[in-house]
A and B are shown apart, each in its own frame.
Chain A
Amino acid sequence: MSDAPEVTRGPVVTPVRVVIALCLFAPFVAMLWVGSYAKVDPAFIGIPFFYWYQMLWVLISTALTMVAYKLWQRDQRARKASDGGASQ
Chain B
Amino acid sequence: MKDGVNGVALAVFIFFFLAVTVMGFLAARWRKAENEHSLDEWGLGGRSFGTWVTWFLLGGDLYTAYTFVAVPAAIYAAGAAGFFAVPYTILVYPLIFTFLPRLWSVSHKHGYVTTSDFVRGRFGSKGLSLAVALTGILATMPYIALQLVGIQAVLDVMGVGGGENTNWFIKDLPLLIAFGVLAAYTYSSGLRAPALIAFVKDTLIYIVIAVAIIYIPIKLGGFDDVFAKAGDAYAQINPATEKPRGALVPAEASQWTYATLALGSALALFMYPHSITATLSSRSRDVIRRNTTILPLYSLMLGLLALLGFMAIAAGVKVTNGQLAIPQLFENMFPDWFAGVAFAAIGIGALVPAAIMSIAAANLFTRNIYKDFIKPDATPKDETRVSKLVSLLVKVGALAFVLTMDKTVAINFQLLGGIWILQTFPALVGGLFTRWFHRWALLAGWAVGMVYGTVAAYGVASPTQKHFGGSSKEIPGIGEIGYIGLTAFVLNLVVTVVLTFVLKAVKAPEGIDETSPEDYTADAGDPGVQVELPPATAGASH
Please give the residue numbers on chain A whose beta carbons come within 8 Å of chain B beta carbons, in ascending order.
1, 3-8, 23-25, 27-28, 31-35, 38-40, 43, 45-48, 50-51, 54-55, 57-59, 61-62, 64-66, 68-69, 72, 88
Contact = CB atoms under 8 A, between A and B. Distances in A.
Given A3-B284, A24-B94, A58-B300, A46 B226 contact: yes
Given A34-B256, A64-B94, A65-B293, 17 more contacts: A3-B285, A3-B286, A3-B523, A27-B90, A31-B87, A31-B259, A32-B87, A34-B258, A38-B251, A39-B249, A46-B222, A51-B303, A55-B304, A61-B296, A65-B93, A68-B94, A69-B292
Given A5-B523, A6-B523, A32-B263, A47 B307 contact: yes
Given A39-B249, A47-B227, A88-B527, A54 B303 contact: yes
B286 to A, nearest CB: 5
Contacts of B517: 8
B226 A31 contact: no
B293 A35 contact: no
B248 A31 contact: no
A38 B93 contact: no
Contacts of B287: 1
A66 to B, nearest CB: 4
Interface of B: 80, 83, 86-87, 89-91, 93-94, 97-98, 222-227, 248-252, 255-256, 258-259, 262-263, 283-287, 289-290, 292-293, 296-297, 299-300, 303-304, 307, 517-518, 521-527
B94 A1 contact: no
A31 B262 contact: yes
B521 A69 contact: no
20 contacts: A1-B284, A1-B286, A3-B285, A3-B286, A3-B523, A24-B97, A28-B94, A32-B87, A35-B255, A38-B80, A46-B225, A48-B249, A54-B86, A55-B303, A55-B304, A58-B89, A58-B90, A62-B293, A69-B292, A88-B526
Contact of B248 (A3, A28, A48, A59): A48
A42 to B, nearest CB: 13
Given A5-B526, A50-B249, A25 B303 contact: no
Given A1-B286, A47-B307, A55-B303, A35 B86 contact: no
Nearest to B262: A31
Nearest to A31: B87
A62 B300 CA distance: 10
Contact of B296 (A7, A23, A58): A58
A34 B293 contact: no
A31 B97 CA distance: 17
Contacts of B87: 31-32, 54, 57
A72 B223 CA distance: 41
A40 B517 CA distance: 50
B387 to A, nearest CB: 28
A33 B290 CA distance: 28
Contact of A1 (B80, B89, B97, B524): B524
A38 B94 contact: no
Contacts of B523: 1, 3-6
B292 A38 contact: no
B93 A61 contact: yes
A59 B304 CA distance: 13
A86 to B, nearest CB: 14
A88 B223 CA distance: 59
